[in-house]
C-alpha cells in the first residue's frame, strides 16, 4: 500500500502532465470549425433580393412538416408573383391579376431539407450587412452567412449568378394558413392543347431567392 507521500508525489505528477498538455488540448478544441444551424422546420422570413441590379422583395414561408415552401415575390415596380413549391417536386408559379398567368415546374427533387447545409465548407468569419457572420460554401454553388451570436441566417449568395438574398426578418415557428397554399383554379383548367408549361430543371437551382433541392 502506497504511503501518503507517494500518493502526493503521484498526484503532483498527474497535475504537471495536465498543465503541460492543456494548451494543446485547448488548441484542438478551438480548431474545430463551427457548423451551420439547421433551419427551423417552420419559419417566415422577409428577404431583399438583388439579382445583379434587379430588385425583389420576397415573402418566404417554409413549412417542412407539410412538405411545402412559398415565395411571394414583389418585383420592383412590377408584378407580384407567387411561387408555390411542394415536396413532390411540383411548383406553381402564378399571378393573381386579371392576366391569370400560371406555369408549372417539375423538379426531380422536393424542397430543401432543414439540414441542407450539412457538409458545407467553413470559410471563416466575415462582416455582412453589419453583422459578424460565419460563412460556409456548399458545393461551389452558394455562400451562406449566419450571424455568429444569434445563429440566424443573414444572407446567401448564388455564386454562378451573383444573386444575393438579404434576410430582413426571421420568425421561427410562424405558419401560413392552409387555405393560402392553394394554387388558383385556372392553373388546373387548361385544355390539353393549352397545357401548362412544363419545364425540366436541374436538381440544384435557385428560384425566388430560396435554393431548390437537397444540395
Domain boundaries, the chain: 42-212
Task: Output 93 or 14, whichever has higher pLDDT.
Answer: 93
What mean pLDDT comes out for the span 37-48?
98
How far apart, in whole angstroms, are the C-alpha atoms of residue 201 and residue 69? 17
Would you state the pLDDT for residue 69? 97
Percent of the chain with pLDDT over 90: 66
CATH of the domain spanning 42-212: 2.50.20.10
* Residue 14: band (very low, low, confident or very high) from pLDDT cuts 50, 70, 90: very low
- Which of the pair, 39 or 189, is modelled with greater confidence? 39
pLDDT at 145 (0 to 100): 98
pLDDT of residue 108: 78
More confident residue, 6 or 187: 187
Average pLDDT, the chain: 83
pLDDT score, position 11: 47
- Strands of 52-130, DSSP E: 54-63, 68-75, 80-86, 90-94, 102-106, 121-128
Q: How confident is the model over 3-8, as a mean pLDDT? A: 51
Instruction: Give this prediction's pTM.
Output: 0.77
Counting beta carbons within 10 angstroms of the beta carbon of residue 61, is it exposed (0 to 12), middle (13 to 18) or buried (19 or more)? Answer: buried
Q: Each residue of 168-181: pLDDT tens digit?
A: 999 999 999 999 99
Amino acid at each position: 500500500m502506497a504511503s501518503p507521500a507517494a500518493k502526493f508525489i503521484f498526484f503532483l505528477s498527474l497535475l504537471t502532465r495536465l498543465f503541460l498538455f492543456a494548451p494543446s488540448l485547448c488548441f484542438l478544441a478551438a480548431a474545430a470549425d463551427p457548423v451551420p444551424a439547421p433551419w427551423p422546420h417552420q419559419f417566415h422570413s422577409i428577404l431583399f433580393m438583388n439579382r445583379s441590379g434587379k430588385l425583389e422583395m420576397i415573402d418566404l414561408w417554409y413549412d417542412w412538416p407539410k412538405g411545402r415552401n412559398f415565395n411571394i415575390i414583389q418585383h420592383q415596380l412590377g408584378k407580384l408573383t407567387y411561387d408555390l413549391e411542394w415536396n413532390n417536386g411540383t411548383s406553381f408559379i402564378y399571378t393573381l391579376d386579371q392576366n391569370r398567368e400560371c406555369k408549372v415546374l417539375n423538379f426531380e427533387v422536393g424542397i430543401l431539407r432543414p439540414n441542407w447545409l450539412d457538409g458545407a465548407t467553413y470559410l471563416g468569419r466575415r462582416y455582412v450587412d453589419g453583422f459578424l457572420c460565419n460563412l460556409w460554401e456548399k458545393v461551389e454553388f452558394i455562400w451562406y452567412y449566419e450571424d455568429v451570436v444569434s445563429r440566424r441566417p443573414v444572407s446567401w449568395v448564388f455564386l454562378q449568378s451573383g444573386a444575393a438574398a438579404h434576410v430582413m426578418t426571421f420568425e421561427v415557428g410562424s405558419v401560413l394558413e392552409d387555405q393560402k397554399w392553394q394554387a388558383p383554379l385556372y392553373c388546373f383548367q387548361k385544355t390539353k392543347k393549352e397545357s401548362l408549361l412544363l419545364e425540366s430543371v436541374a436538381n440544384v437551382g435557385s428560384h425566388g431567392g430560396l435554393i431548390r433541392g437537397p444540395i
